[in-house]
Homo-oligomer: A and B are copies of this chain.
Amino acid sequence: MSAIELSYTQYQIVVNIFSFTMTATTVSAIFFFLKRQDVLPRYRTAITLLGMVSVAATCNYLRLLLSWREAFRVVNGAVVQTGVPYDDVYRYADWVLTVPMLLIALVLVLDLPLRQARMRSTILGLLAVEMIGLGYPGQIATTITTKWTWWIAAMVPFLIIIQQLYGSMSAAIRAEPTEARRLISLARLVTVATWSAYPVLYLLPIMFPARSNAIVATQIGYAAADTVAKAFYGLLICTIAQRKSVDAEAAAATDAAFTATALATRS
Please report A residues at the B interface, Cβ cutoff 8 Å.
1, 8-9, 12, 15-17, 19-20, 22-24, 26-27, 30-31, 33-36, 38, 41, 44, 48, 51-53, 55-56, 59-60, 63, 74-77, 83-85, 87, 89-90, 93-94, 96-97, 140
Contact = CB atoms under 8 A, between A and B. Distances in A.
Contact of A34 (B1, B33, B56, B83): B33
Given A38-B41, A77-B85, A83-B77, A93 B16 contact: yes
A12 B52 CA distance: 25
Contacts of A74: 83-85
24 contacts: A8-B85, A9-B140, A12-B87, A15-B87, A16-B87, A16-B90, A17-B93, A19-B63, A20-B93, A20-B94, A20-B97, A23-B55, A23-B59, A23-B93, A26-B55, A26-B56, A26-B59, A27-B53, A27-B55, A27-B97, A30-B48, A31-B48, A34-B48, A34-B51
Contact of A23 (B20, B83, B94): B94
B55 A44 contact: no
Contacts of A33: 30, 34
Contacts of A24: 97
B15 A30 contact: no
A68 B33 CA distance: 33
A75 B83 contact: yes
Contacts of A35: 48
A59 B19 CA distance: 9
A76 B31 contact: no
Contacts of A12: 85, 87, 89
